[in-house]
Amino acid sequence: MAENLVISEGSKSNKYSVLYDQIIRVMEGEDDMIANMANISSMIHQTFGFWWTGFYRVDGESLVLGPFQGPLACSRIRYGRGVCGTAWKEARTVIVPDVDRFPGHIACSSASRSEIVVPVFDHDGGNVIAVMDIDSDMPDTFDETDKEWLEKIAAAFRKCQE
Ligand code: SME
């Protein structure tokens, strides 16, 4: 597996493209979901310098904190609560350009200004098993380019459940 992360110059798409290939190579060598979540958090975080990058896993009626990079975070989030619980309940990516305008946003860190949460589906694509949560300390950080690439990264987790 790759030992050094290569971070591309150029546009956001270029960065995601180079990052994605490295993520796939890392995941080819490992089927354990937690190990892959840990490395993916690190790789995304280093590439873009986001405020917080990580995963919450579905555990019964709540999400429980998984591997992440960044400041201390809430350990559990109830179904339908906050941005993460909403993405889980609605089984779709949620982009929040301004967290102060998202009713029920859970402020794990007061520095967080915008956020994207992407569901991770099970092998059949029927159930959400986790969410990938990324926070920025700048407003309006995330757009359709982030959604497209992060959904591709989330889809790569299906191999961990074969
Ligand atoms: N802001 C999230 C909670 C998780 S932290 O940002 C890491 C939410 O509203 O679900």
Phi-psi region of 113 (alpha: psi -120 to 50; beta: other; left: phi over 0): alpha
Domain that holds residue 130: 12-160
pLDDT at res. 123? 87
Give domain status of residue 119, yes or no. yes
Number of residues assigned to the chain: 162
Give domain status of residue 5, yes or no. no
Give domain status of residue 126, yes or no. yes
Each residue of 101-125: pLDDT tens digit?
Answer: 998 999 988 899 999 999 999 988 8
Give domain status of residue 61, yes or no. yes
Ligand 1 centroid to Cα of residue 77, in Å, is 8
pLDDT at res. 108? 87
Q: Is the CB of 82 under 6 A from ligand 1?
A: yes
User: What residues contact 35, with CB distance under 8 A and at least 6 apart?
Assistant: none
Give domain status of residue 6, yes or no. no
Give domain status of residue 7, yes or no. no
Give domain status of residue 29, yes or no. yes
What is the total count of domains within the chain? 1
Question: Taking the model in full, what pTM does it have?
Answer: 0.96
**Among 45, 55, 78, 83, residue to substitute to test ligand 1 (most atoms within 8 Å of Cβ):** 83
Give domain status of residue 52, yes or no. yes
pLDDT at res. 125? 83
- CATH number, domain containing residue 117: 3.30.450.40
pLDDT at res. 1? 57
Q: Is the CB of 136 under 6 A from ligand 1?
A: no
What 3-state DSSP class applies to 129?
Answer: strand
Largest Cα separation within the chain, whole Å, is 42
Q: Is the CB of 73 under 6 A from ligand 1?
A: yes
In the chain, how many H helices and how many E strands?
4, 6
Q: Is the CB of 108 under 6 A from ligand 1?
A: yes
What 3-state DSSP class applies to 77?
Answer: strand
Ligand 1 centroid to Cα of residue 79, in Å, is 13
Low-confidence ranges of the chain (pLDDT < 50): none
